[in-house]
Structure 1
Amino acid sequence: MAHTKLTQADFDAMREKYDNDPKNKVLQRSVMKNGINNTAKDNRVVAKLNHTYSVEIDTGKVSNQKRSGRCWLFSLLNVLKHDFAKRYDVKDFELSQSYLFFWDKVERANIFYDRIIDTADKPFDDRELRCYLAAPGADGGEWGMAVALVQKYGVMPTSAFPESNVTEDTSDLKEVLNRKLRRDAMVLRDMIHSGKSDAEIAEKRKEMLKEVYKIAGFACGVPRETFTFEYRDDKQNYHVDADITPKQFFDKYFEIDLDDYVVLGNYPNRKMEQLFRNKAGQNVVGGRQVEFLNMPMDVLKDAAIAQLKDGETVWFANTVTEQSDRQNGLLDDDLYRRAELFDIDMNMDKAQRLDYYDNIPNHAMTLTGVDIVDDKPTKWKVENSWGEKVGEKGYFVMADNWMDNNVFEVIVNKKYLTDSQRQLLEQTPVDLDPWAAV
C-alpha cells in the first residue's frame, strides 16, 4: 500500500469536522487550562476509594526509593521487614536496599560479560545482542532477581548500610555503567574476533569486573563482612548481636524460606497454566531463575487473599503509571475517562495491550490489605515505596478493576495453591525471547 501524504484538503477536512462540533471549543478551553487528566477525572470513582479494608495488616511507615528504579528490592525487603516486625516487635524496622543494590551492580555486570562473550559471533544488528546492550546499567528488576541476591548475600539493616546520594538518585550511576559496560562489550568482542586466547579474555574480564566493583563501592560504599546489630523493640527492650555476617543475619532472624514462594503471572496473551522462564532477566549466575506460572486472574487474587488473611503481605508487579493519581494514591481503571473526553474508541483488552506494548509491568509494590464484600474483593491496600508525602502516608488504594487490567504478577507461598496448581510448577518452563516485554 502506498504511503499517505497529507495535503491541504486533508487539513481543511479535519478543521471543518472540529469546528462543526460546538462542544469542542468548550473542551479545548478546559483541557488547555486544566490538563487532560484533571478534565477527564471522574470524582465518583474517587469517592468510592476509601481507606477501609476488611482484611488489613499493620505494617508501619513506608520506605522511599526516591529517584531510583529499585522498587523490586524495596518490595521484597518490605515483605521481609514485615515478618521481622511481627516476630520481634519492631514496627518501623528497615532493611538496607543499598546493600543488595551494591551486589546487584557487580552480579549484573558479571552475567552481562558472559552474554557478550556468548553472542560474540553475532552481528551488531542481532536482536539478542541489541537487547543486552540496550541498558546494561539499568537498576530495574524482578522478584527472582531480588531473591537471588538475598539467598547469596543475605541482608543488612539500614542502620548498618545506609542510603547514599547515588542510591537515592541513580541517574548518574546508570549513565556511567551504561557507557562502561558497552565499551567493555566492544573490547571483549574485539579480543574474540582478533583471536585472543580464553585465558587472556578471562583476565581482561576480571579487570573489568574489578572496575565495576570500584564504581559500585564509590556509589554505595563497600559492604562490611560483619556488623553489629543493635536495636530497641517497641517495648524499649535493648538487643545487640555483634560480629554477624549478612548471611548469618538473614538465616538467624528470618524464618521465611524464599524457595517456598512462586510467581503467579497473568499475561493473557500467553498460554495459561504454563510455566515460563526469562533467562535474560537473571542477574546472578547460578542464582534464582526468573520464572512465572501463567494463570487466570482469579487464581492470583485467591492466593493473595489467602496469604493476607494469614497475616503475610504480598509482592506484586504492575503498571503503576496507568489510570493512577500519584499524589492522592488512587488506582482505578475508570479514574480518568479520556475516551469519553475525546469521544474516541480507546478500548483494548489486557492481551491486546500487552501485544501492542501499551501495557507492560514497570513497578513493584506490596499488598497489605483487601476489602471483601459478598465474598468478592472490591479494593486493595497497597504499600508503595515513594515516601509518606503521597497517598495516605505512602499507602495507595487500588480498585479491583485496576488489579484486573494492570497487575501482572503476585508472589505467594506455594501452600496457597491447589494440588493441581502446584503440579504445574513441575513442568519444563518455556523460555521467553530475551527481547520479550514479559
Structure 2
Amino acid sequence: MTIDQNLLEQYQARFESHKENQVIEGAIAKVGIKDASLDNNVFRRHSFVFSDETKRGAITNQKASGRCWMFAALNTARVDTMAKLNLETFEFSQNYTLFWDKLEKSNYFLDSILETLEEAIDSRIIAHLLAAPVQDGGQWDMFAGMLEKYGAVPKAVMPETYHSSNTRELNTALTTKLREFASRLRETYQTGATVEDLRAQKEDMLYVIYNILVKALGEVPTTFTYEYRDKDDQFQRIENITPQEFFKEYVGWNLTDRVSLINAPTEDKPYGRAYTVQYLGTVKEAEPIRYINVPMDVLKKAAVASIKNGEPVWYGCDVGQMSVRESGIMDEQSYNYGLTLGEASSLTKAQRLDYGESLLTHAMVLVGVDLDKDGHPINWKVENSWGEKAGKKGIFSMSDKWMDEFAYQISVDKKYIDQEWLKALDEPVIQLAPWDPMGALAMMQ
C-alpha cells in the first residue's frame, strides 16, 4: 500500500466526522498532548497519607546529574546513620561516591576493551562498549561494590562542586578520552603488542582520568573528622576515621545480605532464576551484578515487610510513564490518551520490555505504603531526589497498579524474602546480553 491522495481524503473525512477532534486539536495545540490528556480525578486518588512509614531524612537534590541510584542508596543507608548518631536528618556525600564511580567505570571500560581485542570494530559488543563508557547511571549491585570498597563520608567532608551537580561536560571530557584510549589500545595490539604491554599503558591512561576527576570533583579524603550537633543539641566529634570505617560503624550493613529482586515477565526470563548482565559493572573485582526474577506480588511482599520493620527500600522504575512530575503522582490512569489521541496503548509489561517501550530509568526510595484493611497496598510513599519543587515537597505517591506496570527492581535484606526464591542464588546464574533491557541503568534527572 502507498499513501495516495485518495487515502488522504479518506483519513480527512474520517477525522472531520468526529467533531470532538476539533476541540482536542485546539487543546493540544495550546498545551500539548500530555497536559491536554491529564485526568484531574487522579488527584482524588492520592491523599499522600500512608498507613505505614519508615524514618527518612530531608529531601535531597541530584540537580543536573544522573546520580539518582546513588542518592537512593545513600538515602536508604542514612536512616541507620541518623539512628546511630541521634540525628534528625543526615546526608552522605554523593560527590565522594561519584568520584569513585567515574574512576572505577573508566577502569572497567578499559579492561573490557582489553578483553575484546579480537572483536571487529563494527561488532555489536564494541559499539555497545563505546556508546556510553562512563555515564552517570547505575544499579543497586554496582553501588554495593563501591560501598564495600570505598565506604562513605558525610556531605560536609566532600561537598558538591559544579561538576558533581552538572555532569554533562565532565562526562563528555571523560568519554572523549576513554574512546581515544580504546582506539590506542586496539591499534597498538594490531601492531603486535602483548596484552601485558597494553595493561601497563592502561595504568597511565587511568592517571589521566584521575587527574581530570580531582580537578572537577576535588580530592577524596582518606581520613576525616566529623563534627555535628545531635537532636539534643549536644556537640559531637568523630575523629580520624576512614570512609570505610565510617560506613561500617555508622551504617553497619552486611552488604552480602542485601538482595536485588527484579520483575521481568518476559518469556526469556523464567521466574525463580538469578540473572547477571555481561559487561555491566563498576568495581571490576566486586561480585558481579546478580538479581532474582520474581512475580510482582513477591517483590511487593518483600518491600512491605521491610517498610513495616522501619527499613526503607531502594527502588528502580520507569518514572516517566504516566506520571505527573510536578504533583508527584505516579498513577496508571493519570492521562486519558485514549480520548485525546484516539487509542490508548495496549502493550503489556512484557511487551513494553521486549519492544523497547519501557525499562528501568530512575531510582528512588520506598519510605511508606498505604495498606487496606486486608493488608493489600493501595498507594506507596516514595522519596525522590529532585529537590522539594517536584512532588509534595519531594515526596511522590505511587498507585499499586502503577507499580505493577512500571516497577522493575528493589533491594532489600534477604530476611524479607521467602527461602523458595533465595534458592535461586545457589543455582547457576544466567548471563544476559549487554543490551538486554534489564541491564538498563537508573539515571533520570
TM over 0.5: yes
**Which position in structure 2 is the counterpart of 1:395?**
395
Superposition map of 1:146-157 within 5 A: 146-157=143-154
Distance 1:363 1:345 in 2: 24
Aligned residues: CA RMSD: 1.2
| Paired residue type of 1:133 | L
Q: Is the 8 A contact 2:80 2:250 kept in 1?
A: no
Distance 1:69 1:343 in 2: 35
**Which position in structure 1 is the counterpart of 2:4?**
7
- Deviation string for 1:106-152 (max 9, x for gaps)? 11111111111111111122111111111012110000111110100
Superposition map of 1:282-293 within 5 A: 282-293=281-292
- Deviation string for 1:412-434 (max 9, x for gaps)? 11111222222222111100001
SS in 2 for 1:369: strand
**Which position in structure 1 is the counterpart of 2:442?**
none
Q: Does residue 255 of structure 1 match 2:240?
A: no
**Which position in structure 1 is the counterpart of 2:443?**
none
Superposition map of 1:13-412 within 5 A: 13-269=10-266, 270-373=269-372, 374-412=374-412
Q: Is the 8 A contact 2:337 2:344 kept in 1?
A: no
- Deviation string for 1:163-209 (max 9, x for gaps)? 11001010101111111111111000001111113343122111110
Distance 1:256 1:409 in 2: 20
Distance 1:299 1:256 in 2: 23
| Paired residue type of 2:377 | P
Q: Is the 8 A contact 2:91 2:155 kept in 1?
A: yes
Distance 2:127 2:370 in 1: 45
| Paired residue type of 2:369 | V
Distance 2:195 2:295 in 1: 47
Distance 2:196 2:281 in 1: 25
Distance 2:194 2:376 in 1: 63
Distance 2:148 2:47 in 1: 38
Aligned length: 435
TM-score by length of 2: 0.96
TM-score by length of 1: 0.97
Unaligned runs of 5+ in 2: 439-445
Distance 1:303 1:57 in 2: 15
- Deviation string for 1:50-76 (max 9, x for gaps)? 111100123131110001011111111
Distance 1:166 1:174 in 2: 9
| Paired residue type of 1:367 | L
Distance 2:274 2:433 in 1: 14
SS in 2 for 1:6: coil
| Paired residue type of 1:437 | P
Distance 1:404 1:294 in 2: 14
- Deviation string for 1:13-44 (max 9, x for gaps)? 22222122211111111111122122211111
Distance 2:407 2:302 in 1: 14
| Paired residue type of 1:371 | D
SS in 1 for 2:157: coil
- Deviation string for 1:235-254 (max 9, x for gaps)? 11111112111111112222
Following superposition, the deviation at residue 5 of structure 1 comes to 4.1
Following superposition, the deviation at residue 345 of structure 1 comes to 4.3
SS in 2 for 1:139: coil
Q: Is the 8 A contact 2:56 2:367 kept in 1?
A: yes
Distance 1:192 1:202 in 2: 11
Distance 1:432 1:63 in 2: 34
| Paired residue type of 1:395 | I
Distance 1:286 1:20 in 2: 65
Distance 2:199 2:115 in 1: 13
Following superposition, the deviation at residue 261 of structure 1 comes to 0.7
| Paired residue type of 2:412 | V
| Paired residue type of 1:348 | L
- Deviation string for 1:329-360 (max 9, x for gaps)? 11001101112322214211100000001010
Q: Is the 8 A contact 1:127 1:435 kept in 2?
A: no
SS in 2 for 1:174: helix
Identical pairs, percent: 36
SS in 1 for 2:300: helix
Q: Is the 8 A contact 2:50 2:371 kept in 1?
A: yes
Following superposition, the deviation at residue 103 of structure 1 comes to 0.7
Judged with a 3 Å threshold, the aligned counterparts in structure 2 of structure 1 residues 179 and 10 are, in CA distance, closer, same or farther, namely: farther
- Deviation string for 1:210-229 (max 9, x for gaps)? 00001111111110211111
Distance 1:143 1:417 in 2: 17
**Which position in structure 2 is the counterpart of 1:414?**
414
Q: Which range is displaced more, 171-180 or 146-155?
A: 171-180
